[in-house]
Amino acid sequence: MAIDRRFDAQGNGQPRVLLVDDNAQLQVAIRRALEAAGWAVTEASTGAEAIVLAQRVDPDVIVLDLGLPDEDGRQVLARLKSLAATAWIPVVVVSARAGRSEVDGLLRAGAQDYVVKPVRSDELEARLVAARRVALDHRRWSVSEAHYQRLASQASEAKSDFLSNMSHELRTPMNGVLGMTELMLDTNLDEDQRDYAQTVLSSGEALMIIIEDVLNFANIEAGGNSEVEKVEISVTAIVDDVAGGLTGAAEGKGVKLITSVDSTVPAVVIGDPGRVRQVLVNLVGNAIKFTYTGEIVVRVTTAEVVGGDAGVRFEVSDTGDGIAADNLSAIFEPFVQADTSSTRRHGGTGLGLAISSRLVAQMGGTCGVSSEPGEGSTFWFTIPVRVDLDQTPDQRRPALVDPVSEP
């Protein structure tokens, strides 16, 4: 919102009033008094003229007589309040018949104040000053509110830009470090040197994952990457693929990774394979990270989503640390980690769930978690999918990959 030219920062400048009144004599008297008090006065003698002049002159205050020849003053008031250009201008009503209920009605209809005839010009002037001050305060307040909103959104954009640029800039030298270290590992090294180079490589790879996460998150925040794909996907293939890639890590910790796709889930749905895969990798990756014994189960079922569309629900349950109730609500916020002592042990930046929840939202879905400290956690997300209804039942292949043994 541009700062209005009516006021400088202090509300200085000659105050302007529009006098709407058909009684010429009254006008002359009031006009003289107001001009003597420093007001610039414009006059209108009909309702129609008042509407035009209110927009052209842009007065600080309007004085409106209720007994106009062409129109009831109340209708003029209603019209002034309904126009965007004039709605905010305070109107002081002049009435000879100001019975209690009439005044109430006028104030309700948007009048700022009223004066009863015969008009005392001192009183009118004092009321105009007051009405103008209220409008000025209101104007200052809305200008500063808009200003702060703009600042907040600029700050948030600047943060996203900074993160995005920084992580982009970091990738180039990191690729140099990783590439050269790999080359070095192909040369003749003694055992210690190989050990050192191997540590450089694995630390570099860990750093690269963080850089990618930050870049990814900044891009999502900035509204980039927003084109959601709508292609044919096999849920089973994605689940198999994700589990295949992470089974080694789970088994390395002695944790079983089990997947189960319900037979009611259509073999082929229309959705965004990249996003589904990325969210699953994050959830299963977390489950492995925070589980030490027992099992991790990835389960896919059909679900109803908002609006009654077809939906698919993915659930990742583990028998790991669990999350305290206090921490559950913030867990999808960026850079939030539930237990800093355990996450320090595990590394990570606390971006995985923030990215996941935004990806799910981009797909039009919802996500959540239930967890019991010491018992384990279940992270889930549900996304709407389009189903090709022409599929024959045998195309809906029974998709149990590794059946879960129900208790």
Ligand X SMILES: Nc1ncnc2c1ncn2[C@@H]1O[C@H](COP(=O)(O)OP(=O)(O)OP(=O)(O)O)[C@@H](O)[C@H]1O
Binding site for ligand X (CB under 6 A): 213, 282, 286-287, 290, 318, 320-321, 323, 331, 336-339, 343, 348-354, 377
**CB nearer ligand X, residue 326 or residue 394:** 326
Minimum CB distance to Mg ion, residue 207 (Å): 16
Site string for Mg ion, 326-365 (x = CB under 5 A): --------------------------x-------------
Q: Residue 272 binds what, of Mg ion, ligand X, none (CB under 5 to 8 Å, by partner type)?
A: none
Cα–Cα distance measured from residue 79 to residue 73, given in angstroms and rounded to the nearest whole number: 10
> CB-based contacts of 92: which residues, under 8 Å, 6+ apart?
61, 62, 63, 64, 111, 112, 113, 114, 115, 124, 127, 128, 131
**CB nearer Mg ion, residue 20 or residue 211:** 211
**CB nearer Mg ion, residue 306 or residue 324:** 324
| Residue in this structure with the two tokens 């590794």, named with its chain if needed | 402
Minimum CB distance to ligand X, residue 271 (Å): 22
Minimum CB distance to ligand X, residue 206 (Å): 9
Cβ-closest position to Mg ion:
352
Cα–Cα distance measured from residue 93 to residue 380, given in angstroms and rounded to the nearest whole number: 62
Minimum CB distance to Mg ion, residue 349 (Å): 8
**CB nearer Mg ion, residue 93 or residue 354:** 354
Contact 330, 314 (CB under 8 A): no
Minimum CB distance to Mg ion, residue 144 (Å): 40
Cα–Cα distance measured from residue 263 to residue 395, given in angstroms and rounded to the nearest whole number: 11
Find the radius of gyration of the CA atoms of the chain.
Answer: 35
Q: Residue 337 binds what, of ligand X, Mg ion, none (CB under 5 to 8 Å, by partner type)?
A: ligand X
Minimum CB distance to ligand X, residue 55 (Å): 54
**CB nearer Mg ion, residue 7 or residue 290:** 290
User: In 209-346, which ranges are E strands?
Assistant: 231-233, 256-261, 269-271, 295-304, 310-318
Ordered DSSP codes for 120-185? PHHHHHHHHHHHHHHHHHHHHHHHHHHHHHHHHHHHHHHHHHHHHHHHHHHHHHHHHHHHHHHHHH
Q: Residue 221 binds what, of ligand X, Mg ion, none (CB under 5 to 8 Å, by partner type)?
A: none
Minimum CB distance to Mg ion, residue 223 (Å): 23
**CB nearer ligand X, residue 316 or residue 385:** 316
Cα–Cα distance measured from residue 57 to residue 53, given in angstroms and rounded to the nearest whole number: 5
Cα–Cα distance measured from residue 106 to residue 226, given in angstroms and rounded to the nearest whole number: 51
**CB nearer ligand X, residue 261 or residue 287:** 287
Site string for Mg ion, 259-298 (x = CB under 5 A): ---------------------------x------------
Q: Is 320 one of the binding residues for Mg ion (CB under 5 A)?
A: no
In b/e form, how buried is each residue of 231-263, taking b as 16+ CB within 10 angstroms?
eebbbbebbbebbeebbeebeeeebebbbbbbe
Summarize as ranges the residues that interact with Mg ion (CB under 5 A): 286, 352
